[in-house]
Amino acid sequence: MNGFLPGSDSGPGIWAADVRFAEGTMEYKVKIGPEIYTVDAAPLDDSGSTNMVLEGETRAVTVSAVTPNHLHLRVGCRAANLFVARTSEGSWIWLEGRARLVQEAGIVERRKARGLAETTCEVTPPTPASVVRVLVEVGREVVKGQGLVVVSAMKMEMTLVAPYSGTVRAVNTQVGAQVSPGEILVEIDALPEG
């Protein structure tokens, strides 16, 4: 499900399921302890500012790197100094006495899944959103990574992509619908292996 594998029929340029693009926006799944947080982030502008949507809430974020280990972060009207140390497991982040090992959930999953058969994943929005476009209909054959539904949250669009190749069995949504994480918007019958 992650990366593009040489020889896979999905072709080059298909991004991992945990990072999707819509007009420059990236989705991150970030893990702290048992919790996984989903963040949609538009690219940083020249001043290091952007909007990020964390669990459905939009935050204005400005970042500056003071040193390689020291980030100054402004979130809304709150200023914070973060100290960061990278390891192969993720990044240790220090904030006001709290040290947290922060990991990219996609990387964690990739490590766990390495060498195993690809697992399925569901077509569901990462955050409460409204449906902007539906790109497929029932019976359509799709390839892994193909766009299925475009949703919008806080002025940012995200394209939900096919987690695996197959045939669309059901489309459970329509343009303008308000959708939440966990709702399966498109169901796909997987192509038989081989």
CB-based burial label for 98 (10 Å; 0-12, 13-18, 19+): exposed
Of 95, 121, 154, 191, the one binding another protein (CB under 8 A) is 95
Which residues touch 114 (CB under 8 Å, ≥6 apart)? none
Q: Would you state the structure tokens that stand for residue 36, as one six-digit string?
A: 């996984």
Residues that bind another protein (rule: CB under 8 A) add up to a total of 53
Task: Give yes or no for residue 35 binding another protein (CB under 8 A).
Answer: yes
Q: Per rule CB under 8 A, is residue 6 in the interface with another protein?
A: yes
* Alpha carbon distance 179, 131 (integer Å): 7
Among 91, 124, 146, 167, binds another protein (CB under 8 A): 91
Q: Residue 147 half-sphere exposure, CB side, CA atoms within 13 Å?
A: 14
Q: Does residue 52 belong to the site contacting another protein (CB under 8 A)?
A: yes
In DSSP terms, 62 is beta-bridged to 49, 74
| Closest CB 141 distance from another protein, rounded Å | 26
104 touching another protein, by CB under 8 A: yes
From the list 163, 186, 179, the residue with the least C-alpha distance to 131 is 179
Q: Name the site residues for another protein (rule: CB under 8 A).
A: 2-6, 26, 28, 30, 32-33, 35, 37, 39, 41, 43-44, 48, 50, 52, 54-55, 59, 61, 63, 65, 68-69, 71, 73, 75, 78, 80, 82-88, 91-100, 102, 104, 107, 110
